[in-house]
Chains A and B, each alone.
Chain A
């Protein structure tokens, strides 16, 4: 290889990498868009197409089985938020504001996003692994051969179940986080539980709760689409399943933060 060739190669390399990277991203974005479009079309009343019994089973698997993890996470998150606000409250002696500080942070931002991350880890990763295993063992092709639409049979039930269950789990999570916060304020900070709840009721607005719940629905949507997409994209045996799960949780995490920002920006 001539020296000129080598120099040209060296200069082209970053462009190659950039192009590769951009092609990969656009490939995924296009695929996600197509899957979203397909799902939304099946939601239209005159194209209503999904498997009812499968949806109930998925709801049980998605919701009830994640319940303990969400409760544990929420209690700890509530406790942490109370400790963090407690450090300031102590400084200024404003014990009446403890419930406001912790409650506002939990309901509006921290609760939905941490429960969303746990949900993406527990349910999203599980879902990608399941669909990925079906893909690498050719079960999805078998469904197609039986003229069963994989989107209607596999994606739609998961999509519905994840949105509904994410919403319900955030409702439960918010309540348990406040209870965890109240217990921490009673036993660690020596602030009366009643004062804590009074402060929550007085200063935290209904709007704050609604803001968090709105986010939870959007998070459920994003996690469902992303985890199903990466599951159906899997190729290459056991290694491929691991790679798909990794891509799915990373994509979900980025989507959660981006959506959180977008909703916060739009709401204020």
Chain B
């Protein structure tokens, strides 16, 4: 670890090889430490969620904070996403096949499987994870979390559990909302730019139970991962306003990485399962 001095030879200098090893090992240890901490918070959250008493008021507050206050943000970003994707795809389809009949159906399938949950989660990771890390982080540096501990209220029970429940629920809701927004924006783009009839565009024949299940399980997984990662970053703050800044950065980076990683894992599993089913 970094707080132990490296062993030095008789001239008082560390050898180049040792320095190389330590520079390689330090990031690995740091990452391992972070992952361990995140899983600790995750385990504690489940423990207190099942054992502790429910905190309805805090949970409803967090539902409002995570869900209602993200609606405008999600509408803007996912609306743009729908327009961008339809532009790119429609342009290609027109150039290569000249047939836009399947555009709407395939777009809906792709939205459900991939883009709606993942991009929504990236947006929630930026908006909500920074907010949580900043809020909990400033509570830590102003010693409010220590005060909670002195009142025999576990910080994880009191702070993390409501946020965990709220984000998990709202992530699913917002993903469904995101599908609607992106699909409507895509339909408008297809109508105004490619002259594609909205009735042709709205085509549900491609989607099956598999797509819906894949999208919802992704949304659920992201909804659990984001608050845990963000609260872990917030609870581990040290050192004043600089520390709060560092914690918010860590929260958004780790949450986005978690989203991308979970996306890879669940997509891969989905591919394998689809291969087994059909």
Q: Do A and B bind each other?
A: yes
Name B's A-contacting residues (CB within 8 A): 27, 73, 76-77, 80-81, 83-85, 87-88, 91-92, 106, 110, 113-114, 122-123, 125-127, 130-131, 133-135, 137-138, 141-142, 240-246, 248-249, 252-253, 256-257, 260-261, 263-264, 267-268, 270-272, 274-275
> In the docked arrangement, what's the CA distance between A80 and B134, Å?
31
Q: Is the CB of B92 within 8 A of A104?
A: yes
> In the docked arrangement, what's the CA distance between A120 and B127, Å?
12
Identify which of B81, B141, B242 gathers the most chain A CB atoms within 10 Å of its CB: B242
CB contacts (< 8 Å) of A243 on chain B: these are 134
CB within 8 Å for A83 and B271 given contacts A246-B127, A254-B76: yes
Closest CB pairs A-B (n = 9): A242-B134, A129-B245, A257-B80, A121-B252, A238-B241, A245-B248, A249-B126, A125-B249, A246-B130
CB contacts (< 8 Å) of B264 on chain A: these are 76, 79-80, 83
Binding-face segment, A148-156, A158-166, A259-267: A259-267
Q: Is the CB of A121 within 8 A of B253?
A: yes
CB distance from B150 to the nearest CB of A (A): 21
> In the docked arrangement, what's the CA distance between A86 and B138, Å?
45
CB within 8 Å for A133 and B87 given contacts A77-B260, A245-B130: no
Q: Is the CB of A264 within 8 A of B77?
A: no
Which of chain A's residues has its CB closest to B127's CB? A250
Q: Is the CB of A114 within 8 A of B260?
A: yes
Q: Is the interface of B mostly helix, strand, loop or mixed?
A: helix
Q: Looking at chain A, what size class is its interface with the partner chain?
A: 35 or more
A32 at the binding interface (Cβ < 8 Å): no
Q: Is the CB of B110 within 8 A of A84?
A: yes
> In the docked arrangement, what's the CA distance between A218 and B246, Å?
26
In-complex Cβ contact of B261 among A76, A108, A254 (8 A)? A76
In-complex Cβ contact of B137 among A114, A125, A238, A254 (8 A)? A238
> In the docked arrangement, what's the CA distance between A76 and B81, Å?
20
Which of chain A's residues has its CB closest to B140's CB? A238
A19 at the binding interface (Cβ < 8 Å): no
Q: Is the CB of B142 within 8 A of A238?
A: yes
Q: Is the CB of A132 within 8 A of B85?
A: no
Contact with B along A222-261 (1 / 0, CB 8 A): 0000000000000001111111011001101110011011
